[in-house]
Amino acid sequence: AVESLQADGFQWEAGPNSFYPSAALMKFILDVGLQDDLVLADGTLPRFVYWDGVLHPLPMSPKDINFKLLSWPGKIRAGLGAMGFVRPSFKKEASISDFVRRHLGDEAFEKLVDPFCSGVYAGDPTQLSVDAAFGKLSQLEKLGGSLVAGA
């Protein structure tokens, strides 16, 4: 952990402490014998973002539209972008920041994606390639023209 924080009787660790378990990385973990040390997150448990002094649960499905982290204009912007109402990209290789801001808007990037990138990749999303870090996400646009249609 980069930092331990405490508030209201709770303690949590801040900083990069997870990774995306790609097939190549999982093979490497098995090859070097670390599989017994691996702790995988339970995908059914909620995820949270600490923003502006409040711990916010992240939406787990489209029915969770009433989550409080994004404003209504931010939710509408993200929804329209996910459906394909986005400006075209002329970049050969987009960063995570470029891709998400273009598709989902600044607010969704700052409150949802940037904290995720910091936790998983410990990197700068303005420098990380969306194709390298979120290949499945960038493929959705290529397959269907939008994130929703590509799914």
pLDDT tens track for 33-89: 988 988 777 778 888 888 888 888 888 777 777 788 899 999 999 999 999 898 877
Check: pTM over 0.75? Answer yes or no.
no
Distances (CA, A) of 149 to 50, 52, 55, 77, 128: 31, 33, 32, 17, 25
Q: Is 113 helix (H, G, I), strand (E, B) or coil?
A: helix
User: Each residue of 86-95: pLDDT tens digit?
Assistant: 887 777 889 9
pLDDT given at position 1: 44
pLDDT given at position 10: 84
pLDDT given at position 16: 54
Three state DSSP letters for 24-80 = HHHHHHHHCCCHHHCCCCCCCCCCEEEECCEEEECCCCHHHCCCCCCCHHHHHHHHH
